Amino acid sequence: VANMPLSQHPRWIVTCNFSEFLVYDMEQPNGEPEQILLENLGKEYYRLQFLVDLKSEHISKEMQVSMKAGEIVGRIYDALLKQYDDNSPEALRWLNILCVRIVFCLYAEDAGVFRHDQFHDFLSRYDADDIRRALSDLFEVLNTPLEKRSKYLKEDLKAFPYTNGGLFEEAIEIPQFTEELKQTLLQNASLDFDWSEISPTIFGAVFESTLNPETRRSGGMHYTSIENIHKVIDPLFLNDLRSELDGILEEKVEKTRLRRLDEYQDKLASLTFLDPACGSGNFLTETYLSLRRLENEAIRERYHGQYQIGAFLRLMTLL
């Protein structure tokens, strides 16, 4: 593969030593490969079906995982709702913020923002009666830059990174946890589920439906599929951007090609998109992901594959 022109590099590389398969995603060159044991192939075959139909099978798996994530959030939401003293608009607002923060922490410990299982390990040290206080302390720490934190902070809290963006800025009321709610959070939502596998495009809409009791009562976790999103954004702008990049890659004069790649990357960075009825933002999320794929391809060609973007490419998809 290293000897092939960069424009012809495959998205996936699959190797097998007759006991396990390793699947490398070349859009995450510094990431760890997916491992599938041959003995488990019978129940995990779907993980290789992208070789037959990359788009539909990959999206189908992402949809299943994201819908499962929505079910987990729904269970947590319902359990927390029972713990609040009232169903006032303010209490429901606190509940929604709390669920968003919990989901962020669950994703962060699986996707590399936190240390693996760091959120789980932190909360598992506390009895159910003390989870409320532990979460409050954690949210305060996540909202505090490292240099501004107390020097007397406990080591388990000190180990969490600063999370900017304002997600943990507001002080909210957190209800008392039950033992059942603690186990749902730590076992079902944390240990038993890999949040790094969800599709931000699909999960955003599912999550929005989860936090809307009226939508859930009417039987709807509704979202626009990725395929249908592309039926809109491809002819609007994505096809033109794809064709523009293909034209640049065909440029024979290297100096001119590199200059045009720089200009193309600047153009992508300058684009502004508006979805006035964005809801969960799944159109905007998929637009961002599609633009990043184009930019990654331009960067690979621009620097002849010699670049260090790191594992954060996977994490950026949530932001």
Residue 216 has pLDDT above 70, yes or no: no
Average pLDDT on 171-186 reads 96
The domains of the chain are located at 6-52, 56-217, 226-316
Average pLDDT on 245-249 reads 94
Residue 217 has pLDDT above 60, yes or no: no
How many residues does this entry show for the chain?
Answer: 319
Mean pLDDT, the chain, rounded, equals: 84
Residue 256 has pLDDT above 70, yes or no: yes
Residue 199 has pLDDT above 80, yes or no: no
Average pLDDT on 31-35 reads 84
Name which residue leads in pLDDT, 206 or 41.
41
**What pLDDT is recorded for position 206?**
65
**pLDDT exceeding 70 applies to what percent of the chain?**
79
Name which residue leads in pLDDT, 260 or 282.
260
Average pLDDT on 175-195 reads 95
**What pLDDT is recorded for position 99?**
92
Average pLDDT on 181-199 reads 92
Confidence of residue 58 (pLDDT cuts 50, 70, 90): low
Residue 154 has pLDDT above 90, yes or no: yes
**pLDDT exceeding 90 applies to what percent of the chain?**
54
Name which residue leads in pLDDT, 226 or 52.
226
Residue 62 has pLDDT above 80, yes or no: no
The beta-carbon contacts of 153-160 under 8 Å, at least 24 apart in sequence, are 156/121, 156/122, 156/125, 157/122, 159/115, 159/118, 160/114, 160/118, 160/122
Residue 54 has pLDDT above 60, yes or no: no
Cα distances (angstroms) measured from residue 199 to each of 26, 105, 293, 294, 305: 18, 16, 15, 18, 27
